[in-house]
């Protein structure tokens, strides 16, 4: 398997623009997680899905952030409008249901909002 | 606030030496995991220890868990330059599917 795939790898945008980050989880994985990593706040869980259904979005910072998972092989994280404080590395991770809690991370998307 | 806190924040040792990193957490857990992150990359799972286990080994890695002290340690023996990375502990709370990560320890192995 190719692992978790994220696109784009780098995104530079201006404040106020809409940003869409994409993730393809590992085939057969039931859970998908979106994280944000910054120097100040570390690695934060934003939202996670189980079988394409959002389970916990308590980490989503505000209404400007939204996430969808239309099918088992694709998820998006959208920021509209973007702000400079959204600059971070965004990771997607997936895992399979069962006794193993190991998460598989994608390479991340580095977002810079100017 | 973060569930797990790593100590030290940064560690620099010579190749061949052993590296020990510690993690403390606040609430009862189901399991504790350690992940490695190389610069500019995603996190990679290293090892998982369950709440009813006290010690676990995987290659050059040794993890201990003390639930009474709410702490864990990761020992990397005979370190190599390729071990240079950030190491994170992550806790899973009973009944919850999500992980809570600590701030990480930046490990540098000097050749």
Mean pLDDT over A68-72 rounds to: 97
Smallest Cβ–Cβ distance between B98 and the set A45, A100, A108 belongs to: A45
Phi, psi of B45 (to 5 degrees): -70, 135
Q: Which of A5, A39, A44, A101 to mutate to test the interface with B (most CBs of B within 10 A)?
A: A101
Q: Which residue has the higher pLDDT, B46 or A101?
A: B46
Rounded Cα gap, residues A107 and A6, in angstroms: 7
Rounded Cα gap, residues A26 and A5, in angstroms: 8
Task: State the pLDDT at residue A1.
Answer: 64
- Chain B contact for A106 (CB, 8 A cutoff): yes
Could you report the per-residue pLDDT of B51-99, keeping only the tens digit for each?
999 999 999 999 999 999 999 999 999 999 999 999 999 998 766 788 8
Contact B101 A108 (CB under 8 A): no
Question: Is the distance from CB of A77 to CB of A91 less than 8 angstroms?
Answer: no
Mean pLDDT over B25-36 rounds to: 92
- To the nearest whole percent, how much of chain B has pLDDT over 70? 95
Q: Taking CB atoms and an 8 Å cutoff, what residues of chain B touch A54?
A: none
- To the nearest whole percent, how much of chain A has pLDDT over 90? 89
């Amino acid at each position: 398997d190719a692992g978790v795939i994220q696109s784009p790898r780098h995104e530079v945008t201006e404040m106020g623009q809409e940003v869409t980050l994409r993730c393809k989880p590992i085939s057969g994985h039931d859970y998908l997680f979106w994280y944000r990593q910054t120097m100040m706040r570390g690695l934060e869980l934003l939202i996670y899905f189980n079988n394409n259904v959002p389970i916990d979005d308590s980490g989503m910072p505000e209404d400007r952030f939204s996430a969808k998972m239309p099918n088992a092989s694709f998820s998006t994280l959208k920021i509209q409008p973007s702000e400079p404080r959204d600059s971070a590395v965004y990771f997607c991770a997936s895992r399979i249901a069962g006794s193993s809690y190991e998460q598989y991370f994608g390479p991340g998307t580095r977002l810079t909002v100017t | 606030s973060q569930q797990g806190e790593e100590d030290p924040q940064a560690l620099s040792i010579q190749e061949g030496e052993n590296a020990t990193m510690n993690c403390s957490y606040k609430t009862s857990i189901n399991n504790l995991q350690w992940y490695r992150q190389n610069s500019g990359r995603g996190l990679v799972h290293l090892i998982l220890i369950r709440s009813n286990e006290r010690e676990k080994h995987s290659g050059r890695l040794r993890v201990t868990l003390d639930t009474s002290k709410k702490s864990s340690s990761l020992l990397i023996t005979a370190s190599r330059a390729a071990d240079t990375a950030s190491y994170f502990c992550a806790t899973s709370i009973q009944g919850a599917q999500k992980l809570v990560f600590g701030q990480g320890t930046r490990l540098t192995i000097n050749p």
